[in-house]
Structure 1
Amino acid sequence: MREARFEVLVRAVGAPLHRYLVRRAEPAAADDVLAETMLVLWRRLDDVPNLSDRAEVDPDQVLPWCYGVARGCLANARRADRRRLRLVDKLARTASPPGERTEHADLYDALRTLGEVDREVVMLWAWEGLAPQEIAEVTTLTANAVSIRLHRAKKKLAAELERKNGATAGQEQVKRGSEL
């Protein structure tokens, strides 16, 4: 019975958790952290909210809690890496050879100007499609704190992108006099 519940959970959250981790860690590390996350989910199967003995589970009901577990496992992996290798955390970075611009490099540069928690809030909102209440469950912040951080972070990102590009972020510039 326990194995069947776990299989239902893995089918519901496996792919979203993998995408979540790939965006935040090197691909090889993401697979290791996913394995550790699944081990924790197995151990804490009875703690997963809204997980029943039914054959199906609503991912929206269990994913925020599972994202929180994955986030904790990722933090543990990062602490271990710093102890062993003293590497700099590469969250939200894209490494590129000098002189080569990566796709959306300005956005990644702007994201790096945010604090770690604000960057995580923005990424959970933008990439994982979570609502402030769900982000609060992942980050252990209150929903109100998430909303405030998200609002401020989006304003800071827009200002940073506008400063870099010289244009209002997200809007095309129309040249005056170019119309007939």
Structure 2
Amino acid sequence: MTEQEARRMRRARFEGLAHLVVEPLHRYLLRRTSADMGEDVLSETMLVLWRRLDDVPGLGTDEPDPGDVLPWCYGVARGCLANARRADGRRLRLVERLIRSQEETPAGAADHSELHAALDALGALDREVVRLWAWEGLAPRQIAEATGLTSNAVSIRLHRAKKKIAAQLGRKDAEPTGHKRDEGRSSQ
């Protein structure tokens, strides 16, 4: 038997199995979870069945008996559903932890809400230019490479954005603290 014939036979066996078990597994999952999760778990179950096709009991015959095949497939679906529920639980715990960490502001932590409001008042591209400059420490030529702008356009946008932020924050000088005076200018 050639490799191609073996693949064709394996595929035919899987299609026969899928024809036999998809509907019962789908009903099984829908009775235990939401429709969206049921679809995802069914897909994962079918993937496991494909990988473990040789382990499915009673599948070696030409006409597999649903009574031999389905219980094992239900077990696979049950395991996949348990994995999906554990993953959802981990995601939920992570989201809750992130929400708690945002709510818990340390006593000595600075309030940057005005700065964030000033950033939000900028256009999306100007906001990205400022963030790349201030938070990532990129020079205008590097920002130009990241955004697809020219270095000159980045320098102009950065200069104007810093002025807008300074005005919104009520600073007398447009110079943000902690930065050198020539840092926003192009080195070209």
Kindly indicate whether structure 1 or structure 2 has the higher relative contact order, using CA contacts under 8 Å at least 6 residues apart.
1
TM-score where L is the length of structure 2: 0.44
Structure number with greater Rg is: 2
